[in-house]
Amino acid sequence: MSTLDPVAVFRMEAAECLEAIEAGLLDLTHQLDNKDLVDAVFRGLHTLKGSGAMFGFEALAAFTHHCETAFDRVRKGEVAATSELVAAVLAARDHMRALVDQPDANHGDTGSKLLAQLQAAVGGKAAPVAAPAAVVAPAIVREVSAKKKNSWRIRLSLPANSMANGTNPLGLLDELRDLGECTVRANTAAIPPLGELTPTELHISWEVMLTSEQDRSAIDDVFIFVLDDMELSVEEIDGAATAAPTVEKVAAAPAAPVSMAVPPTAVPEFRPVEAVPVRREAPAAASQAKSAENVRVPAERLDELMDRVGELVIAQSRLSQLASASADIALRSVSEEIERLSGELRDTMMVLRMVPVATLFSRFRRLVHDLARETGKVIELVMEGETTEVDKTVIERLADPLVHLVRNSIDHGLEMPADRLAAGKTEAGTVILSARQAGGEVIISIKDDGRGINRERVRAKAESSGLIHPGQPLSDSELLQLIFAPGFSTAAAITNLSGRGVGMDVVKKTVEALRGAIDVVSVPGQGSEVSLRIPLTLAIIDGLLVRVGSGRYVIPLSAVEECLELSLEEDLRSRGRSFISLRDSLVPFLRLRDLFRTGTKPDVHQKVVVISTGTERVGLVVDQIIGDHQTVIKSMSKLHNNVATFSGATILGDGSVALILDVGHLVAAGQHQEAQLRVTG
Amino acid sequence: MSANILTVDDSASIRLTTKVTLTNAGYSVTEAADGAEGLATAKSSSFDLIVTDLNMPVMDGLTMIEELRKLPGQAGVPIIFLTTESDADLKARAKAAGATGWLTKPFDPENLVKIVKKVLGR
């Protein structure tokens, strides 16, 4: 896609416009008398109509025109904004989207139905259906019909302020000259004495003798912009008059043939209804908005740039390694410089890819609005932390899972208003969509104050579908994780909204593919919260390079809390227990040497790297901590997709490969081990 | 001779079309996305012509023209006002505010060049 294709730009812009219109309309449902919102929606519709007509989206322009008209009437106070009107335009907006996406498809029926709805909403007395902008003939296109030559005496006098307003009288005279043979005489009588002269004012009037093949309308066209404010007289003259011009500097006397035919006088197409030639004082409201320059870049170019930066980072770390082994001071200093630059470049690159989650959240307002209408539930949507920024790829991939989770919350979590009141709750259920950054992760959560997940039903369903044995002991979190099992649903009847469980496995898969994790908290009668923990970015992370046996591994630095020494005595003492005491709390730890079956002897000075995901902490015993390492994440092959312990691989400075540890998985493993130890005592 | 033109429109697609059209006609084009930005841009450098839309966020085209005409440096700079077919009275108001001419939207690129040439006299 070329960024210089106006139609493509229009489509992007139309999408933004439609989103803004939708957001405005949704806000408007709560504040019907908010004039700013009405203006904003009007502007959106207006732009959509105007641009649509320009780029050949005639159906869109025609349809949008009606909505714009309706909103213009609201804007002018002729009709009130009602929830019916907002709903009608909201529905119309979806139709506009279809008209943008498939301008050639036949949308006739939907369109007229929506328009009828719209007319009804503005009280039946909607403005007459005007032709869409697109069918208006463009300006200043005229038929050149008369080939006979005509002669005119034209007297013109422009308003004194016309030069200040950008009209160039010389330009107008030049245009007359272009029409045919022409002599011009200036009348300078009105010029005041020098002392009283205002240089920006015009005091000269002209008399022009013109002989042209063009007709009278051509003359009017010359003055089209000033016609209403100026004095213009155009007299048709015969040859005799032309032959004796009252002109001082006759450069080329027009030898015009006589023509008796009177050309039809064309009315200029754009004569304003009423001219207001009085200069008004403008309200002083010049807000000096900061002009932010934005550049649109196709996503794939950013990805490409990201890849290059990634390669640069790898090359740079190889250079660093070579330089550190060299005695060449110059080489070392260049290497350090490049290290700094590539680090900065990487940081800049990261920022380029970050977008606020608001772009993701905004679409939920419409979803919730529609769901409320569909289900008859009263829903209040609260959004928090919309400015939190996340990698754009992450945002794109999270869209569908989040839609699913929000639907679930509303469909299964929230009770009907009557049930809520009976349970002593407010009539309106609340869904809180929040995002916040925690270390190298962003946590996006969907929380409702509904009925919570029914554990008995989850268990019953899991037992009947053979996911667990009857009576199998499960911890609460394990039980709740069952809802992510493929094909699992606790919904008695699956509604068209989708049941809790239907597709939850897909949600989980998507989140895990992003190297994230899902937590579910649910209190019966009080509601549920599903939290998605997603790494901030997918491409480059800061990692802690460690050695276990002879292999090297990377731990995402964002998850690292602290590093401790594990003395040999402590190591021996902790055998079989696998807990270390960390400032009054016991933290389970995993011996990576055992986990990876390195078959090597532990180093004398083993280290424990304490990692955390949210509240859970786990220590990882490694042989050596090598240091901080900028890690370009390379995904592993499909063959290795099931290796949960590692989330990817990276290339080290010397060209060798190190695996990146999956923190979430390791913490879960640690917790599991802890739970088992507790059970066995 | 080339001229520097400032186009003010909140629609990126219209800005692009305008820019491509005018650039192809040999003019150099600077863009602004709303009236306030247009006003600031016009203040910071000099233009031979300004083409502006009416309905824009932050500051509309009418207000921008009025503000521009108050500035001493902007006297005589032609301003072309882009309007839609239903805005006949707006045209009059724009003229009163100090617009030099107008062009009806949706416009034909050829017409834009024509009007620009007409107003610039080149």
Chain B residues with CB-CB distance to A163 below 8 A: 75-76
Per the rule left: phi > 0, alpha: psi between -120 and 50, beta: everything else, B67 is alpha
Q: In chain B, what residues touch A166 (CB-CB under 8 Å)?
A: 76-79, 98-101, 119
Residue A123: how many CB atoms within 10 A of its CB?
A: 14
> Residues of A with CB below 8 A from B77's CB?
166
CA distance A230 to chain B (A): 13
> Nearest CA of chain A to the CA of B48: how many Å?
10
Query: Rounded distance, CA A72 to CA A89, Å?
Result: 13
Answer yes or no: do A133 and B85 touch at CB < 8 A.
yes
Helix axes of B12-24 and B109-120: crossing angle, nearest 10 degrees: 60
Q: Which residue of B has its CA nearest to A283?
A: B63
DSSP string, A162-179: TTTTT--HHHHHHHHHHH
Contact flag B78-A168 (C-beta cutoff 8 Å): yes
Closest CA to A88 of A35, A43, A131, A45: A45
Angle (deg, nearest 10), helices A83-101 and A6-30: 160
Pairwise CB contact (< 8 Å): B75 & A200: yes
* Terminal alpha carbon distance of chain A: 64
Contact at CB, A288 and B40, closer than 8 angstroms: yes
Residues 6+ apart with CB under 8 A from B24: none
DSSP single-letter state for residue A634 = B
And the tokens for A211?
A: 């002989």
Residue A539's pLDDT is: 67
Would you call A47 and B10 a contact, using CB atoms and an 8 Å cutoff?
yes
> What does the pLDDT look like over B52-100, one tens digit per residue?
888 888 888 888 888 888 887 777 888 888 877 666 777 778 878 888 8
Among A519, A521, A395, A504, residue whose Cα is nearest residue A448: A521
A42, A138, A270 ranked by CB distance to B108: nearest: A138
Across the interface, whether the CB atoms of A53 and B33 are under 8 A apart is answered: no
Angle at A395 between CA A390 and CA A401, to 5 degrees: 130
* Amino acid, res. B91: K
Give the gap in angstroms from C-alpha A28 to the nearest C-alpha of chain B. Answer: 17
CB-based contacts of A559: which residues, under 8 Å, 6+ apart? Answer: A439, A440, A611, A612, A613, A663
> Which residues does chain B have within 8 Å of residue A201's beta carbon, measured at their own beta carbons?
none
Average pLDDT taken over every residue of chain B: 83
C-alpha distances in Å from residue A77, one per residue of A35, A44, A48, A283, A321: 10, 18, 22, 22, 72
* A-to-B residue pairs, Cβ atoms closer than 8 angstroms: 177
What gap in Å lies between CA A168 and CA A75, rounded to an integer? 37
Q: How far is B12 from chain A (nearest CA, A)?
A: 7
Q: Which residue in B has a C-alpha nearest to residue A53's C-alpha? A: B106
pLDDT along chain A (681 residues), means of 10: 66 85 86 84 85 81 84 82 82 85 73 79 53 39 51 82 79 81 82 80 83 78 77 72 39 40 42 39 38 66 82 84 88 91 84 82 84 86 87 82 87 88 89 85 90 86 82 81 72 43 72 82 90 77 88 88 81 69 80 85 86 80 86 77 79 82 80 69 51
Contact call for B92 and A275, based on CB within 8 A = yes
Cβ–Cβ below 8 Å for A53 and B16: no
Of residues A224, A274, A287, nearest to B89 (C-beta): A274
Residue A284, min C-alpha distance to chain B (Å): 8
Other C-beta atoms lying within 10 Å of the C-beta of residue A599? 8
- Of residues B85, B88, B121, nearest to A273 (C-beta): B88
Q: Which residues of B touch A275 (CB under 8 A)?
A: 92, 95
- Nearest chain A residue to B30 by CA distance is A293
Give contacts of B105 with chain A, Cβ < 8 Å: 50, 53-54, 133
What is the per-residue pLDDT for A337?
92
Which candidate from B13, B33, B96 shows the least CB-CB separation from A9?
Answer: B13
Taken as a whole, chain A contains a residue count of 681
Q: How far is the C-alpha of A114 from the C-alpha of B8, rounded, in Å? A: 33
Residues A6, B16: C-beta atoms closer than 8 Å: yes
Does the beta-carbon distance from B11 to A50 stay under 8 Å? yes
Nearest-Cα distance to chain B for A129, in Å, is: 12
Task: Measure CA A572 to chain center.
Answer: 56
A289 vs B97: CB contact, 8 Å cut-off? no
CA neighbor of A234 nearest in space, from A255, A201, A258, A212: A212
Write the DSSP symbol of residue A295: -
Nearest to A65 by CA among A85, A42, A39: A42
Q: How far apart are CA A675 and CA A364, in angstroms?
A: 38
Interacting residues of A79 by C-beta distance below 8 A, sequence separation 6+: A70, A73, A85, A122, A123
Q: What is the CATH number of domain B4-120?
A: 3.40.50.2300
Give the separation between CA A89 and CA A68, rounded to whole angstroms: 9
Q: Give the number of other Cβ atoms within 10 Å of residue A116's Cβ.
A: 11
Judging contacts by C-beta atoms under 8 Å, the chain B residues touching residue A280 are: 66, 96-97
Token digits of residue A73: 């009437």
What SS3 class is residue A272?
coil
Rounded CA separation A157/A218 (Å): 18
Is B107 within 8 Å of A139 when comparing Cβ atoms?
yes
Instruction: Please give the Cα distance from A568 to A552 (Å, whole number).
Output: 22
Residue A489 has a pLDDT of 58
- How far is residue B61 CA from its own chain's centroid? 9
Q: Could you say which of B14, B67, B111 has the minimum Cβ distance to residue A140? A: B111
Distance CA A447, CA A466 (A): 30
Which residues, at least 6 apart from A224, have a Cβ–Cβ distance to it below 8 Å?
A: A140, A268, A270, B101
pLDDT of residue A37: 85
Distance CA B74, CA A166 (A): 9
Q: Which residues of A touch B34 (CB under 8 A)?
A: 289
Residues of chain B positioned with their CB less than 8 A from the CB of A134: 106
**pLDDT, position A238:** 64
